[in-house]
Amino acid sequence: MFWLLFLALLLVFAASLYIGAQRSRQVAGPNTHVLHSRPSYHGGYLAIMATVPALGLLIIWSIAQGPIIDGMVVGQFSDEFEALSLPAREAFLRDARAIAFGGIVSFTDELKEAAAQIYQNLYRISTIAMTVLMALFVVVGFRRGYSSIEPKRRTRHFVERAVMIVLIACSVVAIFTTVGIVLSLIFESIRFFTMIPIHNFLFGLHWSPQSAFAGAGEVVDANPEVFGAIPLIAGTLFITFIAMLVAGPVGLFAAIYLSDYASNTVRAVAKPVLEVLAGVPTVVYGFFAALTVAPFIRNSGEGLGLDVSSESALAAGLVMGIMIIPFVSSLSDDVISAVPQSLRDGSLALGSTKSETIRRVVLPAALPGIVSAMILAISRAIGETMIVVMAAGLAANLTINPLEAVTTVTVQIVTLLVGDQEFDSAKTLAAFALGLLLFCVTLTLNFIALRVVQKYREQYD
Partner 1 sequence: MSTTNVQDAAQDMSQQAETTTAHETAAQSSQAPGSDVAPGGTTITDAPPDVIKMKGRNVDVFYGDKQALFDVDLDIGERQVTALIGPSGCGKSTFLRCLNRMNDTIDIARIEGDITLGEQDIYDPHIDVVELRARVGMIFQKPNPFPKSIFENIAYGPRVHGLADTKTDLEEIVVTSLQKAGLFEEVKDRLDAPGTGLSGGQQQRLCIARAIATSPEVLLMDEPCSALDPIATAKVEELIDELRENFTVVIVTHSMQQAARVSQRTAFFHLGILVEVGATDQIFTNPRDTRTRDYITGRFG
Partner 2 sequence: MTDVAASPPAAGAPSQGQGLHTSDAARKRLKARYASEARFKFFGIAAVLTAAFFLVLLLSTIVGQAIPAFNQHYVTIPVDLSQESLDPNNEGEAVLRRVDYDAVVRNGLRSLFPYVESRGDRRTLGGLVSSGSAVRIRQEVLDDPDATIGQTSFAVPLDDVADLYFKGQVSEERFVETTGEASPTGTEGTIQILSTANDFRDLLADVKDFLGEQADEVERELASRERSLERAEIDIVSYRDRMPEEGSDRREFFEDQVQILERGINGLNANIRDLTAELADLRARSTAAGADEVLTTELPSILVEINGGVVKASSINATAVEGEVIVPLTTTAAASGGDWSIREVVLPERNRKLDDRSLIYLDQLAADERVERQFNMIFFSSGASREAELAGIWGAVVGSFFTMVVTLSLAFPLGVAAAIYLEEFAPKNRLTQLIEVNINNLAAVPSIVFGLLGLAVFLNTFGLPRSAPLVGGMVLALMTLPTIIIASRAALRAVPPSIREGALGVGASKLQTVLHHVLPLAMPGILTGTIIGMAQALGETAPLLMIGMVAFIVDIPATPVDPSTVLPVQIFMWADFPEVLFRQKTSAAILVLLAFLVTMNALAVILRKRFERRW
Instruction: Please give the residues from 31 up to 60 whose contact with partner 2 meets the rule CB under 8 A.
Output: none
Shortest spacing between CB 159 and partner 2, in angstroms:
9
Interaction partner, residue 189 (partner 2, partner 1, none; CB < 5-8 Å by kind): none
**Contact between 37 and 152 (Cβ < 8 Å):** no
Q: Is residue 168 at the binding interface for partner 2, with CB under 8 A as the rule?
A: yes
What is the binding site for partner 1 (CB under 8 A)?
Answer: 264, 340-353, 356, 360-361, 364-365, 459-461
| Interaction of residue 163 with partner 2, rule CB under 8 A | yes
Q: Which residues, in sequence order, are bridge partners of residue 312?
A: 405
Pick between residue 348 and residue 443 the one whose CB is nearest to partner 1. 348
180 Cβ contact partners less than 8 Å away, ≥ 6 residues apart: none
Q: Does 433 bind partner 2 (CB under 8 A)?
A: no
Residue 398 backbone zone (phi > 0: left; psi -120 to 50: alpha; other: beta):
beta
Burial class of residue 110, CB neighbours in 10 A (0-12, 13-18, 19+): exposed
Residue 410's binding partner among partner 1, partner 2, none (Cβ under 5 to 8 angstroms by kind) is partner 2
Give, as ranges, the residues between 293 and 322 that touch partner 2 (CB under 8 A): 322
Question: Which residue, 71, 62, 69, 119, is CA-closest to 96?
Answer: 119
383 binds, among partner 2, partner 1, none (CB under 5 to 8 A by kind): partner 2
- DSSP 8-class letter at 311: T
75 interacts with partner 2 by CB under 8 A? no
Asked whether position 273 contacts partner 2 by CB under 8 A, the answer is: yes
Contact (CB, 8 A) for 336 and 362: yes
106 versus 264: smaller Cβ distance to partner 1 = 264
Q: Which is nearer to partner 1, 365 or 388 (CB)?
A: 365
Q: Which is nearer to partner 2, 144 or 161 (CB)?
A: 161
Please spell the DSSP secondary structure of 395-438, one letter per residue.
S------TTSB---HHHHHHHHHSS---TTSHHHHHHHHHHHHH
Looking at the Cβ atoms of 96 and 138, the one nearer to partner 2 is 96
| Phi, psi of 130, rounded to the nearest 5 degrees | -65, -45
Site for partner 2 in 323-352 (CB under 8 A): 325-326, 329, 351
* Binding track over 178-197 against partner 2, x by CB under 8 A: x-xx--xx-xx---------
7 binds partner 2 (CB under 8 A): no
Those residues whose C-beta lies under 8 Å from the C-beta of residue 98, and which sit 6 or more positions away, are: 104, 105
The tally of CA atoms less than 13 A away on the side-chain side of residue 241 is 11
**Binding to partner 2 by residue 177, rule CB under 8 A?**
yes
